Amino acid sequence: MMHKYIGSDVTSLVTLPVIIFEPMTMLQKMAELMEYCELLDKADECEDPYMRMVYASTWAVSVYFAYQRTWKPFNPILGETYEMVNHQGITFLAEQVSHHPPMGAAHCENEHFTYDITSKVKTKFLGNSLEIYPVGRTRVTLKKSGVVLDLVPPLTKVNNLIFGRTWVDSPGEMVMTNLTTGDKAVLYFQPCGWFGYDIWPSIYSCIC
């Protein structure tokens, strides 16, 4: 029965067994990027524009600390919200703004930065794997310098959905762009091989 979905976007088409879910919603999952928000604090305090990009890019990569969690969060209901205040002065608010297709929006800030995200994905079912393409928007504004950063993450691929041990990979490029200056940090995520993962970083300047 599943063969008819191969190559399709299955974001809202397939009913999945509850055993593959973890006990949280996608709105809570969106807040996990704030686990190492002190890196954005350091980026805001940094005077060197290139080190600022290094700190911001390191923060963007930090969310992959949870790559071994292969369970899927539940889709929130339309209008559902999630709020979080932590010991680092972070205030985070997210809301499910669309049900078909699923889409969430969130705003977060502290004294150093504001963070805004529209979380939307397209999927491609490949039989025993699923490719997840981020098509939303992520922006960070550093308050001290006024710098605005745009983040485009790589795709996520969930392998062995039906047969074998499920594992997650994120091959491709992560691009962090300074919309104020045009500077860009590009991190290439090497596809997982026999010996694990590798990330190749590069930082580019728009100034010739």
Region 187-196 average pLDDT: 72
The residues, any chain, with a CB within 8 Å of residue 17's CB and separated by 6 or more, are: none
User: For every residue of the chain, which 3-state class applies, written as one string?
Assistant: CHHHHCCCCCCCCCCCCHHHEEEEEHHHHHHHHHCCCHHHHHHHHCCCHHHHHHHHHHHHHHHHHHCCCCCEEECCCCCCEEEEECCCCCEEEEEEEECCCCEEEEEEECCCEEEEEEEEEEEEECCCEEEEEECCEEEEEECCCCCEEEEECCCEEEECCCCCCCEEECCEEEEEEECCCCCEEEEEEEEEECCEEEEEEEEECCCC
User: 207 pLDDT band (50/70/90 cuts)?
Assistant: very low
Q: 2-172 sits in which CATH class? A: mainly beta
Q: What are 32-62's pLDDT values in tens digits?
A: 889 899 999 999 999 999 999 999 999 999 8
**Nearest alpha carbon to residue 102 among 30, 166, 5:** 30
Give pLDDT tens digits for 121-161: 887 877 777 888 888 899 999 999 999 999 999 988 888 87
pLDDT at res. 203: 55
Kindly indicate the confidence band of residue 208, based on its pLDDT and cuts at 50, 70 and 90.
Answer: very low
Average pLDDT, the chain: 82
Instruction: Kindly tell me if the per-residue pLDDT of 89 is higher than 70.
Output: yes
Mean pLDDT of the region 87-113 = 92
Which tens digits make up the pLDDT trace of 22-33? Answer: 888 889 988 988
Q: Which position has the higher pLDDT, 93 or 125?
A: 93
